[in-house]
């Protein structure tokens, strides 16, 4: 479902770029401009220390998480407030996921997994605010998150099991002649994990926002007929709200699956 949505969205973006190119005299729609990284304090040069719009919206995501989980639930009332209810639901949801998917011995990794989920879902929802910036639409952000998961899982596997962790790549239940071939396939798929992990999140988020921009451009050009793309914008926006949560959930549950392999590497 998410792959189909991504490919359809990409097709719409490409078509809009070809049909409404700036070289023509028609409508110019630039759906990818919303993902441009710009410095906050003038100038065009961006160094590693330059505060950018990405920096700002990641900071706002962290502030929102602290406000929800720390200050929103600080009273710990018997009758919880709305913020406390949301915080408790998120806590229980992720804790149950870690326990069910990875096992009770993985509960010690719960703070890390909870942090991942809350950052991604908060950044996704902040990106739905008009004129905001979606940090999770950039592969540079999602790649770092995916690599952190990959490195954590790999180190955990070798620390807990040593060389036995390599048993993850040796399919002992397969015929002996096929085991070396399967081991190569398993090894390649293991190193491809962070690639698919980051592309799935950034690709779906980027595609949805690009489609919204395309329909918004149509609405701005049609005048009295703008109600048609407005209906499409409403439908896509509702889908984007769903995607914002689902992609955070998918990223988190895949983290739990990968962590399970590190804790229990035998096939």
- Average pLDDT per block of 10 residues along the chain, 267 residues long: 49 42 53 85 81 93 93 77 89 94 91 96 93 92 95 94 87 85 92 93 90 76 65 86 95 95 80
What pLDDT sits at residue 80?
78
Helix (H, G, I), strand (E, B) or coil at 39: strand
Rounded Cα distance, 248 and 117, in Å? 6
What pLDDT sits at residue 2?
53
Which helix (H) or strand (E) segment holds residue 218: the answer is helix 179-222
What pLDDT sits at residue 43?
75
What pLDDT sits at residue 224?
57
- CA neighbours closer than 13 Å in the CB half-sphere of residue 123: 29
Residue 52 backbone phi and psi in degrees, to 5? -125, 180
- CA neighbours closer than 13 Å in the CB half-sphere of residue 85: 4
Closest among 149, 137, 115, 120 to 260, alpha carbons compared: 149
Closest among 90, 101, 209, 201 to 144, alpha carbons compared: 201
Q: What is the largest CA-CA distance in the chain?
A: 70
């Amino acid at each position: 479902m998410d792959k189909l949505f991504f490919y359809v969205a990409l097709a719409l973006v490409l078509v809009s770029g070809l049909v409404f190119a700036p070289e023509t005299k028609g409508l110019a729609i630039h759906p990818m401009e919303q993902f441009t990284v710009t410095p906050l304090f003038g100038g065009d040069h961006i160094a590693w220390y330059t505060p950018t719009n990405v920096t700002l919206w990641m900071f706002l995501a962290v502030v929102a998480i602290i406000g929800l989980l720390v200050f929103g639930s600080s009273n710990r009332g018997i009758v919880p407030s709305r913020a406390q209810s949301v915080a408790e639901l998120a806590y229980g949801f992720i804790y149950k996921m870690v326990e069910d998917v990875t096992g009770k011995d993985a509960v010690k990794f719960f703070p890390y997994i909870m942090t991942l989920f809350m950052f991604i879902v908060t950044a996704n929802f902040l990106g739905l605010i008009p004129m905001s910036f979606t940090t999770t639409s950039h592969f540079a952000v999602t790649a770092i998150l995916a690599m952190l998961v990959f490195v954590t899982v790999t180190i955990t596997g070798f620390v807990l099991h040593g060389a036995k962790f390599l048993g993850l790549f040796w399919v002992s239940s397969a015929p002996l002649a096929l085991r070396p071939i399967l081991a190569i396939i398993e090894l390649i798929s293991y190193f491809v994990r962070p690639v698919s992990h980051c592309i799935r999140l950034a690709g779906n988020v980027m595609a949805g926002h690009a489609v919204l921009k395309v329909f918004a451009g149509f609405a701005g050009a049609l005048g009295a007929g703008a109600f048609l793309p407005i209906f499409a914008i409403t439908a896509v926006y509702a889908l984007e709200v769903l995607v914002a949560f689902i992609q955070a959930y998918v990223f988190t549950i895949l983290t739990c699956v990968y962590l399970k392999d590190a804790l229990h590497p035998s096939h």
